[in-house]
């Protein structure tokens, strides 16, 4: 039995022609899906002659030009002596940080910048229970049962006492099933306000007068944040435990299989070059954050994060220089 070719299949034909799949291969694929050979040939030829496809081809060529320019930038970045690593620097000055890293869209780990925080010596499971144990907090649960847990995180929220969450982390093994992240911060910043007095502004880089006082991340060993890019520049201040971070530069976005908003289809915990061959063209950089490390994550850089221990991280976006680039971002939809 043959069947008619509908608009969804016509979209498929057009998309694959724009990806330079040979017309004969498309016709054969359509026939293998029970479309008549003459119908398949007619639809492919109609697509090739369509002024809509010709217009899309011109737009595709413009995008390819931009991708080539990004690839040049990426190649030049690899030629740098330390291009394949995240540099570690001790107490960078304001000018050193902004001129050498912030404005150049380069990551860096800065040490010695928040050693005086009371959080560095006070924060522990017992301290959390004593200071905020009865507070109601918001946590994500059911992450391991949902392959798209980051996209679907609004559906995974649960309220519980903070002391019960601390107890759960303390007795759990390696798991990504539950995690308190920045996405829970609108509630938790108020619920855990007593902890914020233990976090002092990093005045060399951040605006101490900003109402944005940071984001609180707390989870067990094994928590994962899948490959994505942010719409702002970010600081990750590692307070308790260690985290592994995998980074891919902004200029390698064409190789990151980014089909929705800021998310990648690549599993950072088990990178599969067979399934995602274009990823071999991207520069993959890894680093480990230790307690006391401050990682600068430049805007647009792809990153995957995994907790090597039960960990607490504070993140910040209130930089002294412009960081409102998300205002002009519009591609939240399928790409």
Q: Which single residue is written with the structure tokens 């694959």?
A: 16
Counting every residue written for the chain, the total comes to 335
Note the pLDDT of residue 185.
Answer: 85
What are the backbone angles phi and psi of residue 321, rounded to the nearest 5°? -105, 170
Closest CA to 233 of 314, 312, 99, 324: 324
- Structure confidence at residue 243 (pLDDT): 98
How does DSSP classify residue 319? B
Are 143 and 234 found together in one domain? yes
* Whether residue 128 sits in one domain with residue 194: yes
Pair 53, 184 in one domain: no
| Domain assignment of residue 207, yes or no | yes
Please indicate, yes or no, whether residues 15 and 159 belong to a single structural domain of this protein.
no
Determine, yes or no, domain membership for 334.
no
- Residue 219: φ, ψ to 5°: -160, 170
Please tell me whether residue 42 adopts helix, strand or coil conformation. helix
- 137 and 281 in a single domain? The answer is yes
Assess contact for 94 and 205: CB atoms under 8 A: yes
- Of 43, 70, 97, which residue constitutes the final position of a domain? 70
163: domain range? 87-328
Question: What pLDDT is recorded for position 1?
Answer: 58
pLDDT for the residue 224? 97
CATH of the domain at 308: 2.60.120.650
Question: Closest by alpha carbon to 302, among 264, 254, 329, 260?
Answer: 264
- Label residues 195-225 b or e (16+ Cβ within 10 Å = b): beebbebbebbbbeeeeebbbbbbbbbbbbb
The contacts of residue 60 (CB under 8 Å, 6+ apart) are 18
For the chain (length 335 residues), average pLDDT per consecutive 10?
86 94 95 93 96 95 93 89 90 97 97 97 97 96 94 93 97 96 89 94 96 94 97 98 98 95 96 94 96 98 98 97 95 87
**Inside any domain, residue 77:** no
Same domain, 66 and 91: no
Q: Does 128 lie in the same domain as 12?
A: no
Q: Are residues 52 and 194 in the same domain?
A: no
Phi, psi for 226 (deg, rounded to 5)? -65, 165
Domain shared by 113 and 186, yes or no: yes
Residue 9 pLDDT: 95
Q: Are residues 52 and 172 in the same domain?
A: no
Determine which helix (DSSP H) or strand (DSSP E) holds 240, and give its type and residue range: strand 234-240
Same domain flag for 97 and 179: yes
CA dihedral (233, 236, 237, 240) in degrees, to 10, reads 170
Question: Is 78 within a domain?
Answer: no
Does this model's pTM top 0.95? My answer is no
3-state SS class at 253: helix
Q: Are residues 66 and 213 in the same domain?
A: no
Name the one residue in this structure whose structure tokens are 């054969």: 28
Q: How many domains does the chain have?
A: 2
């Amino acid at each position: 039995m043959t069947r008619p070719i509908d608009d969804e299949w016509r979209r498929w034909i057009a998309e694959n022609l724009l990806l330079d799949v040979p017309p004969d291969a498309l016709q054969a694929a359509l026939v293998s899906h029970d479309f008549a050979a003459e119908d398949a040939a007619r639809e492919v030829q109609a697509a090739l002659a369509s002024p809509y496809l010709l217009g899309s081809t011109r737009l595709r060529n413009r995008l390819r030009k931009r991708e080539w320019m990004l690839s040049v930038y990426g190649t030049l970045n690899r030629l740098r002596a330390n291009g394949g690593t995240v540099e570690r620097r001790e107490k960078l000055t304001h000018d050193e940080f902004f001129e050498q890293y912030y404005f150049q869209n380069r990551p860096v780990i800065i040490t010695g910048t928040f050693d005086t925080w009371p959080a560095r010596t006070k924060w522990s499971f017992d301290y959390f229970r004593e200071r905020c144990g009865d507070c109601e907090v918001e946590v994500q649960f059911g992450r391991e049962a949902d392959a798209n847990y980051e996209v679907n995180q609004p559906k995974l929220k649960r309220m519980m006492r903070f002391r019960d969450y601390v107890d759960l982390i303390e007795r759990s093994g390696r798991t990504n099933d539950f995690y308190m992240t920045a996405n829970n911060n609108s509630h938790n910043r108020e619920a855990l306000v007593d902890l914020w007095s233990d976090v002092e502004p990093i005045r060399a880089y951040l605006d101490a007068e900003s109402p944005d006082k940071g984001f609180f991340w707390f989870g067990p060993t094994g928590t994962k944040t899948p490959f994505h890019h942010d719409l702002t520049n970010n600081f990750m201040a590692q307070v308790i435990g260690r985290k592994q971070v995998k980074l891919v530069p902004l200029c390698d976005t064409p190789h990151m299989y980014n089909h929705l908003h800021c998310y990648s289809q690549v599993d950072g915990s088990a990178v599969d070059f067979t399934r995602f061959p274009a990823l071999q063209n991207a520069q993959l950089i890894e680093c480990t954050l230790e307690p006391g490390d401050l990682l600068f994550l430049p805007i647009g850089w792809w990153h995957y994060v995994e907790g090597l221990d039960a960990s607490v991280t504070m993140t910040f976006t209130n930089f002294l220089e412009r960081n409102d680039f998300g205002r002009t971002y519009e591609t939240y939809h399928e790409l």
